[in-house]
């Protein structure tokens, strides 16, 4: 296939288609909510008290923003909070007037202090009028450095888990394409940097441990899958299916293999190749001249979701990783245009997000694996290419709602959306797992 045709094919197919720092916990078991008293179905009101010690204001600002972006906690701020906080010194609760904080709507207080060894955190239950959880967290890197910020994000995630029982998503990052490079950005919108050389690139993806990324890059012989080590800076080509079109990579949950689409003039199919580089790729789909792209593994690694045109138009299918038990997932009986593509399997295994063409514009949808219930999540502008956060609640997606393509983050439970990127042309977002070992 001519090089120019491959470029057109790849672009067409794509439209078809944080570890917390170590803590010494002195109260209850990790991962179990501390049992605050608040109305079921509501978000607990939480006040982050002024943080003492070096760079305390920055630590407090990050904690507040992270807890707010997690959408499970109502962070209480304002003049009354500032005034009340200035009269109470904390210090283990002896000087805290819990009645005043309860009158201001707080269910919990976060008290933190930065010291030579890191950050000491105390969580106060306002109703119980006592401190209920403490922990000590280390900080790494110079203040405001990427390593330092990620360490603070890890504290936020653990605080959210203490209060709600669910780990936050602050210690994560998001890949995306802008212009001719792959970029990475923190989940709160800070720390943007390029992580690929210049070239025509598409479809970035994360390894489960966050050390490696994969993406498709146009070369002389066609499109290759590039695997890049973020720690060493080295890159290599996945050589299982040289030449032709190789795109839309997805790492397996164990990080040992990559599923991707490989094609030529006879159509495109899903293959799985070992990252060890030994042997040929395993073919998953037999499209018989149709296009099968955009694989996404189930959390247990046993099945893949993918886009296929085998029915005459793009739909989302699932199959076992050996190619057996192929099922049509998206029904023909909703919407006004048959075009559903770019699936992403939620980390909890319950849902698959995808894009659907409705009234001439792509919108982000989810479908339940249990009962096939379909839910439309967006309606403003063109919205496409959803990617799940590790909490299986938030999605990052590309949207034109500002007039140019940007990445937005959506809370699928409340519908709240926030803009993540601000430089024009961001697209094809991919959310990492928790970055527990890689800065």
Q: Which residue has the tokens 């202090």?
A: 113
Q: Which two tokens stand for residue 426?
A: 């961001």
Q: Identify the pLDDT of residue 14.
A: 52
Is the pLDDT at 93 greater than 70? The verdict is no
**Would 3-18+172-431 and 45-164 be classified into the same CATH topology?**
no
- Percent with pLDDT over 70 in the chain: 87
Q: What's the pLDDT band for 87 if we cut at 50, 70, 90?
A: confident
- C-alpha–C-alpha distance, residues 183 and 429, integer Å: 9
Confidence at residue 35, expressed as pLDDT on a 0 to 100 scale: 63
- Sheet containing 267-274: give its strands across: 245-251, 257-264, 267-274, 282-283
Q: What per-residue confidence (pLDDT) applies to 337?
A: 64
The Cα 395–Cα 344 span in angstroms is 10
Region 356-365 average pLDDT? 94
Provide the token pair at 172. 């994560």
Residues facing residue 184 across a β-bridge: 175, 193
Q: Are 395 and 417 in contact (CB under 8 A)?
A: no
Give yes or no for residue 197 having a pLDDT over 60. Answer: yes
163-173 confidence digits (pLDDT tens): 999 999 999 99
Q: How far is CA 277 from the centre of its chain?
A: 28
Q: Supply φ then ψ for residue 86, to 5 degrees.
A: -70, -20
- Condensed to tens digits (0 to 9), the pLDDT of residues 364-377 reads 999 999 999 999 99
Give dist(CA 90, CA 112) in Å, integer: 9
pLDDT score of 22 more than 60: no
Distance CA 44, CA 74 (A): 6
- The mean-pLDDT minimum among 33-47, 106-120, 197-211 falls in 33-47
CATH of domain 3-18+172-431: 2.120.10.30
Question: What confidence tier does 89 reach under pLDDT thresholds 50, 70, 90?
Answer: low
Q: Tell me, what's the pLDDT at 1?
A: 47
Is the pLDDT score of 28 beyond 50? no
Confidence of residue 2 (pLDDT cuts 50, 70, 90): very low
The span from the CA of 357 to the CA of 341, in Å, is: 9
Q: Which fold has domain 45-164?
A: Rossmann fold (3.40.50)
Our measurement of the distance from residue 143's CA atom to the centroid of its chain's CA atoms, rounded to an integer in Å, reads 25
For residue 31, the model assigns a pLDDT of 44
- Give the residue extent of every domain in the chain: 3-18+172-431, 45-164
* Cα-based torsion angle of the residue sequence 98, 103, 106, 107 in order, rounded to the nearest 10 degrees: 70
Instruction: Tell me the CA end-to-end span of the chain in Å, nearest whole number.
Output: 40
Distances (CA, A) of 239 to 217, 226, 397: 13, 9, 30
pLDDT-derived band at 432 (thresholds 50, 70, 90) equals very high
Average pLDDT value for residue range 220-239: 93
Q: Is the pLDDT of residue 185 over 80?
A: yes
Radius of gyration of the CA atoms of the chain, in A: 23
| Sheet of 292-297, strands arranged across | 292-297, 303-308, 315-320, 327-328
pLDDT for 108 equals: 96
Which residues make beta-bridge pairs with 384? Answer: 398
| pLDDT at position 431 over 80 | yes
Helices (H) and strands (E) in the chain, counts: 5, 29
**Per-residue pLDDT averaged across 342-364, rounded?**
96
Distances (CA, A) of 18 to 237, 318, 386, 434: 28, 30, 21, 4
pLDDT at 40 over 90: no
Q: Residue 257: is it exposed, middle or buried by C-beta count within 10 angstroms (0-12/13-18/19+)?
A: buried
Q: What pLDDT score does 272 carry?
A: 97
């Amino acid at each position: 296939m001519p090089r120019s045709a491959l470029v057109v094919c790849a672009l067409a197919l794509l439209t078809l288609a944080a570890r917390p720092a170590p803590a010494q916990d002195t109260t209850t078991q990790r991962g179990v909510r501390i049992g605050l008293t608040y109305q079921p179905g509501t978000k607990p009101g939480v006040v982050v008290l002024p943080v003492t010690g070096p760079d305390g204001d920055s630590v407090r600002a990050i904690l507040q923003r992270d807890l707010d972006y997690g959408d499970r906690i109502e962070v209480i701020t304002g003049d009354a909070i500032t005034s009340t906080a200035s009269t109470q010194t904390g210090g283990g609760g002896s000087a805290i007037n819990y009645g005043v904080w309860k009158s201001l709507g707080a269910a919990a207080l976060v008290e933190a202090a930065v010291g030579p060894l890191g950050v000491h955190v105390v969580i106060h239950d306002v109703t119980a009028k006592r401190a209920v959880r403490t922990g000590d967290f280390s900080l790494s890197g110079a203040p405001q450095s990427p390593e330092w910020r990620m360490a603070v994000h890890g504290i936020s995630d653990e605080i959210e888990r203490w209060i709600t029982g669910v780990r936050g998503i602050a210690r994560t990052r998001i890949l995306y394409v802008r212009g001719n490079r792959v970029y990475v950005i923190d989940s709160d919108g800070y720390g943007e940097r390029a992580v690929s050389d210049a070239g025509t690139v598409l479809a970035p993806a994360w390894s489960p441990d966050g050390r490696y990324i994969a993406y498709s890059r146009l070369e002389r012989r066609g499109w290759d899958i590039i695997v890049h080590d973020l720690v060493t800076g080295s890159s290599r080509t996945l050589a299982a299916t040289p030449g032709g079109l190789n795109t839309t990579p997805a790492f397996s949950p164990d990080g040992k293999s990559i599923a991707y689409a490989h094609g030529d003039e006879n159509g495109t199919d899903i293959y799985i190749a070992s990252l060890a580089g030994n042997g040929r790729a395993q073919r998953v789909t037999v499209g018989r001249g149709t296009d099968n792209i955009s694989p996404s593994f189930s959390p247990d690694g046993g099945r893949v979701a993918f886009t296929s045109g085998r029915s005459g138009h793009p739909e989302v299918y699932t199959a076992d990783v050996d190619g057996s038990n192929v099922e049509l997932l998206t029904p023909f009986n909703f919407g006004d245009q048959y075009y559903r593509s770019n699936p992403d399997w939620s980390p909890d295994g319950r849902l698959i997000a995808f894009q659907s063409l409705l009234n001439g514009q792509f919108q982000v949808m989810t479908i339940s694996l249990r009962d096939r219930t379909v839910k439309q999540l967006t309606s403003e502008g063109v919205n496409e290419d959803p990617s799940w956060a590790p909490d299986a609640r938030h999605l990052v997606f590309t949207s034109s709602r500002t007039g140019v393509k940007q990445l937005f983050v959506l809370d699928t439970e409340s519908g709240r959306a926030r803009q993540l990127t601000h430089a024009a042309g961001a697209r094809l977002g991919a959310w990492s797992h928790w970055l527990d070992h890689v800065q």
